Chains A and B, each alone.
Chain A
Amino acid sequence: MISKEYRTISQIAGPLVFVEKTEPVGYGELAAVSLPDGSVKRGQVLDTSHDFVVIQVFEGTAGIEKSSGVRFLGETMKMPVSQDMLGRILSGSGEPLDGGPPIVPEERLDIVGSAINPWARDEPKEFIQTGISAIDGMNTLVRGQKLPIFSGSGLPHNDIALQIARQAKVRGKEEEFAVVFAAMGITNEEAQYFMADFERTGALKRAVVFMNLADDPAIERIITPRLALTTAEYLAFELNMHVLVILTDITNYCEALRQIGAAREEVPGRRGYPGYMYTDLATLYERAGRIKGKKGSITQIPILSMPGDDITHPIADLTGYITEGQIVAARDLHRAGIYPPINVGASLSRLMNAGIGPGLTREDHKAVSDQCYAAYAEGRDLRGLVAIVGKDSLSERDKKFLEFADLFERRFVRQGREEDRDIETTLEIAWELLATLPESQLTRIDRKYIEKYHPAHRKSE
């Protein structure tokens, strides 16, 4: 069907184009705007009525004039998907960037996706070993979880994400993760850093990469993560693969969302971001999980840089309310030369309890991590006190805790970028550090675990 071309643009504002006097156009339908130079820009209908239609143009409105032609394509945005996408590098709107042939679709899927029926979801409980102690030991990731990295400019969140992508595995199973990587508004350099690592480690073979770089149109960032997640759903739930999705940087995505909101003259919510940002982010993050009867799974690691390292900023805040925890990168640890600079106290994995324990990791895992948390928190508090009254006025007990906090950061949290610790090693280090505390202070650990795992007890055997 050749659709009718309209030349009735009445207004162009930011990324929006208003078209008058059209035939009925469907909400969410795709539109194509032809420019005088023959190029075509794509967009999507945001508002439709008998009087006018509002189109949000993905590639930006530069060059569009009132006499430009607009055609409506009669369908919502679809993503061609196939198994051959693995190993491909695509643009933020899904066009090949690697010089390879176009994707021959096995299916064309709606990019908005539908909500998984909560009844159809399966419980995420398979422990993913990332080889990073601060995550495995204290904030365990499980298959089907969405666990963002809250970071700030200048912090090595990319290294952490790459290390996870490289080392992530489910123990006792040979299946590898397929990686879907969506870059939104990151710099060319950052992108090259990711690509170089993917190529070096051979991860690219089992990866699909979507690249929207800093100089690509901001509006395109609205669709990039949706293309990526549609691909991930296809790989996970049609091709039975375990998919790890890395989305970076969510902050750029939200900026694009705000830009559209402002152009539509919407009533803004906090800090100028749209009031529906929670719902909008949820339609991305909730596309993670497992489905009953399906072998595959989607695990998401969104990365967001918190403006001013402010965890109460709307982007971090709303994300934290949707995701199942967060890994928080801390500037003070980074300055102290600790990699990965993960603030264990502020981090959290909500699904940890489902993924650890006997048969999954080890029986003492929960108790050990609780004890480390409590002792580390106490040690950190004491640092504040020492700054005022000096170390000498601490009791012997308090000195031990102070020391524990230092050891915890230097020996447990800190590790090499290529260091892949299995969970036993992680717990071993934790026990060695806990052994520096008086045994009577290990109140969160059952007697039987202390007898079995405490270094002092094992040596006496």
Chain B
Amino acid sequence: MAKVGEIYRVAGPVVTATGISPRMYDVALVGEERLMGEVIKIYGDKTVIQVYEDTSGLRPGEKVFDTGQPLLAELGPGLLGSVYDGVQRPLPVLMNAMGNFIKRGVTAPGLDRKKRWNFSPAVKKGDVVKAGAIIGNVKEGHMDHRIMVPPDVSGTVDWIKEGQFTVEEPICSISGKEVTMMQKWPVRTARPIVRKTMPDVPLVTGQRILDTLFPLSKGGTGAIPGGFGTGKTVTQQQLAKWSDADVVVYIGCGERGNEMTEVLVTFPKLEDPKTGKPLMERTVLIANTSNMPVAAREASVYTGMTIAEYYRDMGYDVSLMADSTSRWAEAMREISSRLEEMPGEEGFPAYLAARLSDFYERAGRVETLSGFNGSVTVVGAVSPPGGDLSEPVTQNTLRIVRVFWALDSKLRERRHFPAINWLTSYSLYTSNLDGWFRKYVAEDFPELRAWAMEILQREAELQEIVQLVGSDALPEEQKLTLEIARMIREIFLQQNAYHPVDTYTPLKRQYVFMKTIKRFSELARRAVESDVPVETITELPVRIRLTKSKFEPNIDEELEAINKEMESQFEGLGGRA
């Protein structure tokens, strides 16, 4: 089998080569500069390669090298806190090697080869270990990085060492096979597990509308579709910042450079609400901005997913944010059109739906080979052209994911953030999760959610009437419903991501908030029944105090005080009526 061939044709990122006979998805090195690429089509004696770097200047006749290996991710200590491009080249290393702009032909390993890590074994000579079993520990920041037996190795421990090692030095031998702290895994293949389990624990995000109304479970899948400017990225970043996962993988897939900068600047300054450590210590960033090579963008979601699965296998809860899956789909479309494949809907390849479902199916709560419970939660942003949700990427995504957070440009225009439409969004996990909410938050949590949804639904119906006859024509009782709905929207649903207090609301407090509004509603209804006009109720000082309470630093005491004040102020009203 020949390992070296030559370029036959170059058209943009797609290079055709002759003289090699690789397997599909093997990595090939193209041209004198050895640009990295991946085999995506084989026909006759020709091999089609998508190249991850700019191909300007490549000529027919230059050499092509077949590496005989698929695209691999390097997995081991040192991933956390890293910033990679779509094919796991560390961006800081690239900057040192080639300056401020991304040039080409530079290879950089995903894991630092020189850094030494302190390995402490968890098994001893003579122990029998299976694939995926944990053989030792490394401190990676504040996290325990559990070193696992690679999935293709098992047997008896011949020897195992303790001390300082690089990721390439053998630390253990299992039935004659040396094991290092680093594993390599083909990114397009899901890592093995024992079985998937039911997702019945919520991913707590501190975002009120998400946690209370449309909760996502650990190991669940969610999509955030929305036109530009509706806040997909801010929502994704809020999830990356505040969700109670152990590890966060954030993929900036074909998005803005300045947005990645924002992440890079803010994350190191923020604290993980669970551990108090800098958020960067639990985060892996993959940044393949829109003007970086399109083929590497296509690969970036798989690179990210593989890293997420690796930490899941240690028994961690990982959440993966992909912003935006539409750019990924467009990369597929671009490559597909260069291959002159017969297009499906809107020029997207016919395999779009299959690729999307393969990707989202790698999410889940699982029992790992090491016997732990781990999970990968996937949240994909979708950027539908013209905000039109009937387009193929959105539709194919919605067929797979179980949580749908619909962003709405109407809400955006009135600066209602997060601009998530409460009438069209849904979560199919609520019934799985209600047991957990009852046990750990409050017994009546699901009922409270149902109450809020009902008010919001009734508001939508009443608004239609108001549009025709004006709000003055409504009976007082219905005016009150509108007022309560307004309170739910303004106090509970609106949340300011940039306000230090408001940006994160713990579940318990979310409950108290909603409960307080419900209590207000009950008292107000009683007052209206004894002929207090709704306008008087709206002007109650406690109503205004409640509205502003979410920005108060001592918010929990404030809410308690409001609850007391509310009772007395309503009593005062009752006297007048």
User: B-contacting residues of A (Cβ < 8 Å)?
Assistant: 24-29, 46-50, 76, 110, 112-124, 144-145, 237, 266-270, 275-276, 278-279, 282-283, 286-287, 289, 291-292, 294, 311-314, 317-318, 320-322, 324-326, 345-346, 348, 350-351, 353-354, 366, 370, 373-374, 377-378, 384-385, 388-389, 393-395, 398, 440, 443, 446-447
Query: What residues of chain A lie closer than 8 Å to B330, measured between beta carbons?
Result: 275-276, 278-279
**Is the pair A270, B337 in contact by a Cβ cutoff of 8 Å?**
no
List 20 A–B pairs whose Cβ atoms lie within 8 Å, in order of A's numbering. Answer: A24-B62, A27-B59, A28-B56, A47-B9, A47-B10, A47-B11, A48-B59, A50-B61, A115-B289, A116-B257, A118-B264, A118-B287, A119-B264, A123-B262, A124-B261, A237-B100, A270-B385, A275-B333, A324-B256, A389-B470
**Is the pair A354, B228 in contact by a Cβ cutoff of 8 Å?**
no
Query: What residues of chain A lie closer than 8 Å to B544, measured between beta carbons?
Result: 440, 443
CB distance from B169 to the nearest CB of A (A): 28
Q: Assess whether B60 is interfacial by the CB under 8 Å rule.
A: yes
Q: Assess whether B547 is interfacial by the CB under 8 Å rule.
A: yes
Q: Assess whether B343 is interfacial by the CB under 8 Å rule.
A: yes
**Is the pair B229, A116 in contact by a Cβ cutoff of 8 Å?**
no
CB distance from A365 to the nearest CB of B (A): 12
Q: How far is the CA of A141 from the CA of B103 in the complex (A)?
A: 30
**Is the pair B470, A393 in contact by a Cβ cutoff of 8 Å?**
yes
> For residue A51, which residue of chain B has the nearest CB?
B9
Most buried by B among A113, A269, A270, A294: A269
Q: How far is the CA of A123 from the CA of B265 in the complex (A)?
A: 7
**Is the pair B8, A50 in contact by a Cβ cutoff of 8 Å?**
yes
Q: How far is the CA of A370 from the CA of B551 in the complex (A)?
A: 15
Q: Assess whether B317 is interfacial by the CB under 8 Å rule.
A: no
Partner of B229, one of A119, A278, A325, A353: A325
Q: Assess whether B575 is interfacial by the CB under 8 Å rule.
A: no
> For residue A438, which residue of chain B has the nearest CB?
B539
Q: Assess whether B414 is interfacial by the CB under 8 Å rule.
A: yes
Interface size counted on chain B using CB atoms at 8 A = 80
Q: Which 10 A-B pairs have the closest CB atoms?
A: A312-B386, A49-B9, A282-B290, A377-B414, A28-B56, A320-B228, A119-B91, A114-B101, A286-B291, A393-B470
Query: What residues of chain A lie closer than 8 Å to B337, measured between beta carbons?
Result: 266-267, 275-276
CB distance from A396 to the nearest CB of B (A): 9
**Is the pair B498, A353 in contact by a Cβ cutoff of 8 Å?**
yes
Q: Assess whether B125 is interfacial by the CB under 8 Å rule.
A: no
CB distance from A430 to the nearest CB of B (A): 14
**Is the pair B472, A395 in contact by a Cβ cutoff of 8 Å?**
yes
Query: What residues of chain B lie closer than 8 Å to A317, measured between beta carbons?
Result: 227-228, 385-386
Task: Beyond A120-B95, A350-B259, list 14 extra A-B contacts (CB 8 Å).
Answer: A24-B60, A27-B58, A28-B55, A115-B257, A118-B257, A121-B264, A123-B262, A267-B337, A267-B343, A279-B334, A282-B254, A311-B386, A351-B258, A393-B470
**Is the pair B102, A114 in contact by a Cβ cutoff of 8 Å?**
yes
Query: What residues of chain B lie closer than 8 Å to A50, measured between beta carbons?
Result: 8-9, 60-61
Known: A24-B59, A27-B58. A345 touches B413 (CB 8 A): yes
Q: Assess whether B473 is interfacial by the CB under 8 Å rule.
A: yes
Q: How far is the CA of A321 from the CA of B91 in the complex (A)?
A: 24
**Is the pair B260, A27 in contact by a Cβ cutoff of 8 Å?**
no
Q: How far is the CA of A388 from the CA of B467 in the complex (A)?
A: 8
A-B contact count (CB 8 A): 228
CB distance from B143 to the nearest CB of A (A): 23
Q: How far is the CA of A126 from the CA of B397 in the complex (A)?
A: 39
B:425-478 near A, CB below 8 Å: 466-473
> For residue B287, which residue of chain A has the nearest CB?
A118
Most buried by B among A112, A278, A292, A443: A278
Partner of B469, one of A120, A237, A389: A389
CB distance from A198 to the nearest CB of B (A): 28
User: A-contacting residues of B (Cβ < 8 Å)?
Assistant: 8-12, 16, 54-62, 83, 91-92, 94-95, 99-103, 227-229, 252, 254, 256-262, 264-265, 287, 289-292, 294, 327, 330-331, 333-334, 337, 340, 343, 346-347, 383, 385-388, 412-415, 466-473, 490, 498, 535, 539, 544, 547-548, 551
Partner of B415, one of A27, A145, A322, A377: A377
CB distance from B554 to the nearest CB of A (A): 15
> For residue A390, which residue of chain B has the nearest CB?
B470
**Is the pair A278, B290 in contact by a Cβ cutoff of 8 Å?**
yes
Partner of B346, one of A269, A318, A370: A269
**Is the pair A394, B262 in contact by a Cβ cutoff of 8 Å?**
no
Query: What residues of chain B lie closer than 8 Å to A394, measured between beta carbons?
Result: 470, 472
Q: How far is the CA of A124 from the CA of B261 in the complex (A)?
A: 9
**Is the pair B257, A378 in contact by a Cβ cutoff of 8 Å?**
no
**Is the pair A276, B334 in contact by a Cβ cutoff of 8 Å?**
yes
Q: How far is the CA of A446 from the CA of B549 in the complex (A)?
A: 11
Partner of B414, one of A27, A112, A116, A345: A345
Q: How far is the CA of A389 from the CA of B94 in the complex (A)?
A: 64
**Is the pair B60, A443 in contact by a Cβ cutoff of 8 Å?**
no
Q: How far is the CA of A276 from the CA of B265 in the complex (A)?
A: 30
**Is the pair B383, A289 in contact by a Cβ cutoff of 8 Å?**
no
Query: What residues of chain A lie closer than 8 Å to B414, measured between beta carbons?
Result: 345, 373-374, 377-378
Q: How far is the CA of A24 from the CA of B57 in the complex (A)?
A: 11
Q: How far is the CA of A266 from the CA of B343 in the complex (A)?
A: 11
Q: How far is the CA of A294 from the CA of B290 in the complex (A)?
A: 23
**Is the pair B258, A385 in contact by a Cβ cutoff of 8 Å?**
no
Query: What residues of chain B lie closer than 8 Å to A446, measured between beta carbons?
Result: 548, 551
Q: How far is the CA of A346 from the CA of B472 in the complex (A)?
A: 30
CB distance from A146 to the nearest CB of B (A): 8
**Is the pair B10, A76 in contact by a Cβ cutoff of 8 Å?**
no
Q: How far is the CA of A47 from the CA of B99 in the complex (A)?
A: 29
CB distance from B39 to the nearest CB of A (A): 18
Q: How far is the CA of A443 from the CA of B383 in the complex (A)?
A: 32
Known: A267-B337, A346-B413, A374-B414. A119 touches B10 (CB 8 A): no
**Is the pair A286, B289 in contact by a Cβ cutoff of 8 Å?**
yes
**Is the pair A27, B256 in contact by a Cβ cutoff of 8 Å?**
no
Q: How far is the CA of A289 from the CA of B291 in the complex (A)?
A: 13
> For residue B541, which residue of chain A has the nearest CB?
A440
**Is the pair A27, B498 in contact by a Cβ cutoff of 8 Å?**
no
Query: What residues of chain B lie closer than 8 Å to A270, measured between beta carbons?
Result: 346-347, 385
Q: How far is the CA of A314 from the CA of B388 in the complex (A)?
A: 12
Query: What residues of chain B lie closer than 8 Å to A325, measured between beta carbons?
Result: 229
Most buried by B among A119, A388, A395: A119
**Is the pair B472, A117 in contact by a Cβ cutoff of 8 Å?**
no
Query: What residues of chain B lie closer than 8 Å to A313, measured between beta carbons?
Result: 386
CB distance from B561 to the nearest CB of A (A): 16
Partner of B289, one of A118, A268, A292, A294: A118
Known: A114-B101, A121-B258, A317-B228. A269 touches B413 (CB 8 A): no
**Is the pair A286, B290 in contact by a Cβ cutoff of 8 Å?**
yes
CB distance from B551 to the nearest CB of A (A): 7
CB distance from B11 to the nearest CB of A (A): 4
Query: What residues of chain B lie closer than 8 Å to A122, measured between beta carbons?
Result: 261
Query: What residues of chain B lie closer than 8 Å to A283, measured between beta carbons?
Result: 291
Known: A321-B383, A345-B414. A144 touches B258 (CB 8 A): yes
**Is the pair B16, A49 in contact by a Cβ cutoff of 8 Å?**
yes
CB distance from B397 to the nearest CB of A (A): 17
CB distance from A327 to the nearest CB of B (A): 12
Q: How far is the CA of A318 from the CA of B95 in the complex (A)?
A: 29
> For residue A445, which residue of chain B has the nearest CB?
B548
**Is the pair A354, B386 in contact by a Cβ cutoff of 8 Å?**
no
Query: What residues of chain A lie closer than 8 Å to B547, measured between beta carbons?
Result: 443
CB distance from B277 to the nearest CB of A (A): 22
Q: How far is the CA of A291 from the CA of B101 in the complex (A)?
A: 10
Q: How far is the CA of A132 from the CA of B382 in the complex (A)?
A: 34
> For residue B230, which residue of chain A has the nearest CB?
A348
Query: What residues of chain A lie closer than 8 Å to B340, measured between beta carbons?
Result: 267
Known: A279-B334, A286-B289. A48 touches B10 (CB 8 A): yes
> For residue B11, which residue of chain A has the nearest CB?
A47
Q: How far is the CA of A116 from the CA of B327 in the complex (A)?
A: 19
Q: How far is the CA of A320 from the CA of B228 in the complex (A)?
A: 6
Query: What residues of chain A lie closer than 8 Å to B467, measured between beta carbons?
Result: 384-385, 388
Query: What residues of chain A lie closer than 8 Å to B287, measured between beta carbons?
Result: 118-119
**Is the pair A119, B60 in contact by a Cβ cutoff of 8 Å?**
no
